[in-house]
Structure 1
Amino acid sequence: MAVWRGWVDLPPRWNPWAPLDVRESPNPLTPFKLWRLRDNRELCEQALATSGLRYAAVPDSLPAPDCPIENSVRIQRGAVAFNGSFIATCPLAVAYALFERHGLQSAAQEIYGQPVVRIEHYGSFACRNIGQSNRRSQHARANALDIAGFRLRDGRRITVARDWKGSDRDARFLRLVRDAACRSFNTTLGPEYNRAHHDHFHLDMGLYRMCR
């Protein structure tokens, strides 16, 4: 209450009510700050402005029934390139930026001593349900991203399909990436979840937290 009312002055990274700065190392307040972006477009835009991503705003639209695109951007690239641009809700874009900066690249440096320069993904927006259920997927709102592989600076390519059970080094890298994703996204699903995810990591900012 004292911080919220302005009676106590704290550095922004330790102030729960200050906008999230993606450039700052994550701390125990980061999940709360990510949660606050959910229904606050202005606050999310402030966080996204610190992300270092190259992006363009996407107008709100309803491309198909029950599949609204709202508060979204088209991400063209970050510090890494993509096999193609993709649409993401603002909270998903911020979570991705945190993952890339503070998780993915740290894992690559630890295992290979070099950065990831390209990410291969299967896309984000798809107006569909979850598996055989009647519930809409987070993909139906562009609130999920499926990542399939990574390319290192020296040209080496690591894919979830081939390397999850591959060499010790590649498998360890992918598990570090999965763990890093779990810290940034609400849901992270990979090969250990089910066969539908044998070749990619599903990352989303839905209501439920799950790390599999």
Structure 2
Amino acid sequence: MVLRRICVFAPLIVLLLSGPALLSGCGTSGTNFVVKDDPWRSPEERACLASGVVRQSAFVRARSALGGPSVCGAETPFEMLAADSGRVTLEPSASLRCPMIPQIDSWVKNVVEPAARYYFRQELAGLKILASYSCRPMNSVDGARISEHAYANALDVGGFKLANGDTISVLRDWNGSEREQAFLRRVHQGSCEYFTTVLSPNYNRLHADHFHLDLARHGRDGLMRICK
């Protein structure tokens, strides 16, 4: 396993190899994070692109670049504006790598929309997005491991909008009415079937206002899932 410490300063980017540098800070004026060599990322993304499962449309657009140091981003990033053929908007749109897009689409169609109809008798109209791509360490903690957000491999969802204009907020409604709690817990449970990491307000206070969803590989075989 190769670890590197990445220090991002404006406008300077410094890469320090593993060793003593991992024990020392990169300076107080920059953001730094530890990067593990993940050889699965590039082949996985290229396989997704080659499969044709993600196609450009009015709701999914290819982007040329995402910005940040070279360790961040994706080979061919996309901007996702809506799921389920445009019926469910992402507000705001999300910058994502290829494998995330079909998973979000399937999750919306098979988990969130049925839950909205069951608990509220309403169609789902939108997702409130708190974060997608961001070149930063986990939880924005200086010196921590690099976040899946830095690879456009994660999405933070803060709420759900119904067709009648009502909203269900993770922050407000996780401990809200019985119906709102049931909806959010159904969505949380169903999310674990589509993403390898799902973090809810049960995880810690940093996730009190959103569900974190990503496709990181966990464990020696990469098949372990984290659902909290």
Same structural fold, with TM-score higher than 0.5 when normalized by the shorter chain: yes
Verify the 8 A CA contact 1:147 1:202 in the aligned structure 2: yes
Q: Structure 1: how far apart are the matches of 2:53 and 2:91?
A: 25
State the TM-score, normalized to the length of structure 1: 0.76
- What is the match of residue 48 of structure 1? 54
Tell me, yes or no, if structure 1 residue 84 matches structure 2 residue 92: yes
Quote how far apart the aligned CAs of 1:60 are: 4.9
Q: Structure 1: how far apart are the matches of 2:208 and 2:185?
A: 13
Q: What is the identity percentage for the equivalent residue pairs of Structure 1 and Structure 2?
A: 31
More helix by share: 1
State the TM-score, normalized to the length of structure 2: 0.71
Q: Structure 1: how far apart are the matches of 2:45 and 2:226?
A: 17
The alignment covers a number of residue pairs equal to 175
Taking the TM superposition and a 5 Å limit, the aligned residue runs for 1:9-88 are 38-44=45-51, 46-49=52-55, 54-60=59-65, 63-78=68-83, 79-88=87-96
- What is the match of residue 166 of structure 2? 156
For residue 108 of structure 1, the aligned residue among 116, 129, 136 is 116
Structure 2: gaps spanning 5 or more residues: 1-42, 219-224
Verify the 8 A CA contact 1:63 1:69 in the aligned structure 2: no
Over alpha carbons, which structure has the higher Rg?
Answer: 2
Q: Structure 1: how far apart are the matches of 2:50 and 2:110?
A: 21
Quote how far apart the aligned CAs of 1:143 are: 0.6
Secondary structure of the structure 1 residue equivalent to 2:192: helix
Q: Deviations over 1:118-151 (max 9, x none)?
A: 1111120111111335310000011100000011
Q: Structure 1: how far apart are the matches of 2:62 and 2:158?
A: 25
Secondary structure of the structure 2 residue equivalent to 1:102: helix
Q: Deviations over 1:76-131 (max 9, x none)?
A: 11221122111111111111011011111011111111111011111201111113
Q: Structure 1: how far apart are the matches of 2:66 and 2:113?
A: 34
Q: Structure 1: how far apart are the matches of 2:100 and 2:192?
A: 13
Question: What RMSD, in angstroms, separates the aligned Cα atoms of the two structures?
Answer: 2.1
Verify the 8 A CA contact 1:190 1:202 in the aligned structure 2: yes
For residue 126 of structure 2, the aligned residue among 118, 131, 139 is 118
Verify the 8 A CA contact 1:114 1:152 in the aligned structure 2: yes
Quote how far apart the aligned CAs of 1:184 are: 0.8
Secondary structure of the structure 2 residue equivalent to 1:64: coil
